[in-house]
């Protein structure tokens, strides 16, 4: 899918579920992430995060919820049942809202049916493509900010890093450190043109273990999720296991062991 196609999906979501919607609200979005909340009958808000990889819609969005409720975990797992489509994000979100309404004994909201409408198209019948030099410059600026972000991470005070890693076993700390280094190398490779890469840095090396997709902000959030898992008693006592495929933050294998 083109960038404009994904933008069309996200803008449609925002137009339907704005920040004042009574049941579901899109708080913010970027091309690689989506922040939203589900409003419960008590007035409480369930925060939901979605990460979108560069290979979308071939790769499904990754959903997270700020709760340990196993019922919510089941709701997110059922999103995987939705087949591939050009509007996978819209269809998954429709299922998510419907399942959450069912879970909390709320009536199905009629606005979810609007997610089935076709996306806006250009005169040629395809989703209108929008590109500009300004967008390219903005992307380059974000990449540079991302690298600055990693530099700042490396210069964190020792005490802060100790508290961040507290309760995580050594082998898992080694995994986290490897991922962090791979992320920085990936972003460096993205900024270096192929014809400028020296013999020790070429495009083939971009396929090495731990390649990442998405913004630094999305990766940071996933790293936090992974740290929380490594600290959790359920993980330490062997109730479930988590394996990162090729050390990638964007592909996890989770197994229930007990």
**Are residues 106 and 116 in contact, defined by beta-carbon separation less than 8 angstroms?**
no
What's the confidence (pLDDT) of residue 121? 62
Q: In what order do the strands lie in the sheet with 33-39?
A: 24-30, 33-39, 45-51, 62-65
Interatomic CA distance for residues 207 and 23, integer angstroms = 42
Cα distances from 88 to residues 5, 23, 103, 190, in angstroms, run: 11, 21, 22, 27
State the burial class of residue 220 (Cβ atoms within 10 Å of its Cβ: 0-12, 13-18, 19+).
middle
72-77 CB contacts, 8 Å cutoff, 24+ apart: 72/46, 72/103, 75/99, 75/100, 75/103
| pTM to 2 decimal places | 0.51
What's the confidence (pLDDT) of residue 163? 64
Please report, rounded to a whole number, the percentage of residues in the chain having pLDDT higher than 90: 23
Among 94-103, 143-152, 193-202, 232-241, which stretch is predicted with the lowest mean pLDDT? 193-202
What's the confidence (pLDDT) of residue 139? 52
Q: What would the pLDDT profile of 100-123 be if each residue is shown by its tens digit?
A: 999 999 999 999 999 888 876 643
Q: Is the pLDDT of residue 246 over 60?
A: yes
Cα–Cα–Cα angle for 110, 113, 119, nearest 5°? 140
What's the confidence (pLDDT) of residue 28? 92
In this structure, what token pair is assigned to residue 53? 């990889």
Give the CA count within 13 Å in the CB-facing half-sphere of 136: 5
């Amino acid at each position: 899918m083109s960038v404009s196609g994904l933008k069309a999906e996200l803008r449609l979501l925002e137009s339907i579920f704005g920040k004042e919607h009574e049941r579901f609200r899109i708080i913010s979005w970027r091309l690689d992430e989506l922040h939203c909340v589900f409003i419960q009958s008590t007035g409480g808000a369930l925060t939901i995060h979605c990460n979108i990889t560069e290979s979308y819609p071939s790769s499904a969005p990754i959903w997270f919820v700020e709760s340990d409720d196993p019922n919510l975990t089941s709701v997110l797992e059922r999103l995987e049942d939705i087949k591939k489509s050009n509007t996978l994000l819209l269809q998954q979100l429709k299922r998510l809202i419907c399942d959450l309404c069912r879970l909390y004994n709320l009536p199905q909201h009629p606005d979810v049916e609007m997610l089935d409408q076709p996306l806006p198209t250009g005169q040629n019948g395809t989703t209108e493509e929008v590109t500009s030099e300004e967008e390219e410059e903005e992307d380059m600026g974000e990449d540079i900010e991302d690298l600055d972000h990693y530099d700042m991470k490396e210069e964190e005070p020792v005490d802060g890093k100790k508290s961040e890693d507290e309760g995580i076993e050594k082998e898992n700390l080694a995994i986290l450190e490897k991922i962090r280094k791979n992320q920085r190398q990936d972003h460096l490779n993205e900024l270096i043109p192929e014809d400028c890469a020296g013999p020790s840095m070429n495009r083939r090396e971009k396929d090495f273990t731990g390649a990442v997709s998405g913004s630094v902000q999305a990766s940071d959030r996933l790293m936090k999720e992974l740290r929380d898992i490594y600290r959790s008693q359920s993980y330490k006592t062997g109730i479930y296991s988590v394996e990162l495929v090729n050390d990638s933050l964007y592909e996890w294998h989770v197994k229930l062991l007990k």
